[in-house]
Each structure stands twice: as C-alpha cells, then as structure tokens.
Amino acid sequence: MPPTFSEFGQRIRELREEKRKSDPAFSLRRFALSVGISAAFLSKVEMGESPPPKAENIKKIAELLGTNADELLALAGKVDPDLPEIIREQPRVMADFLRTAQANLTEEDIKILTEEIRSGKRSSK
C-alpha cells in the first residue's frame, strides 16, 4: 500500500518539532524559508492536506533535520532523482541486481554488502 500524505507530513512535523526544542530556527516559518517553500505550504504538508514537495526539497528537509533522505522520500512515495540515472547507466545489471537483492537478501544482508563495497573489502572484477 502506498504511503499517505499524512504519514509524510506527520513525520516531518515530529522531526521539526523535536529540533525546535533546542533550536528556534525550526519554527514552521523559519524552517520553510530554509527549505525554500512557503510556510503555508509546509503547514498543509504537515497536516496531510497537500502532497509532499518535490524530491529536491525533501532532500533539503532531510539534510536540515539530520535524517535519512531516502526514508523521507519513500514516505512521500518518491525516489531520489539520482537513482534513475544510475540505473540508466547500466540498466541490465542494475535492474537485475535490485530484483535479485529484493528477492534474496534481508535488510541486514544488504547493509553488510553495502559496507563491504564501500570499504573495498569485496573484490572487484
């Protein structure tokens, strides 16, 4: 089932309010200004009355809130705009890899594999 607007908005509000406890820059108005959207729009998003902003703004929101952009994008029913280009560069192997990983690997398996690749521990051919 796809996420609802209210799930995304509620999560943004929770994260923003938590940050606001220690930093007044996270008031709705000031935060919206930092993201580059209107306070009225952000309010509607947080209330689940408007769809989430574009992916670039969601990435900015995540950065400002110190949270994972991909998780917020998923809640918004979106993906990082960089990912389609990555897939287009090597469409056959990337699509095959993603389908294979989805069908055969747990989240923990994927985390381990990702870390091995990042650290250079896996042999490249």
Query: Residue 81 in 3-state DSSP?
Result: coil
> In whole angstroms, what is the distance from residue 21 CA to residue 41 CA?
22
> In whole angstroms, what is the distance from residue 103 CA to residue 69 CA?
24
> In whole angstroms, what is the distance from residue 2 CA to residue 113 CA?
27
pLDDT at 122: 63
Tokens representing 63? 């950065």
pLDDT at 124: 52
pLDDT at 1: 43
- Collect the ranges in the chain with pLDDT lower than 50: 1
107 phi and psi, to 5 degrees?
-60, -40
> Which amino acid is present at 23?
D
pLDDT at 67: 97
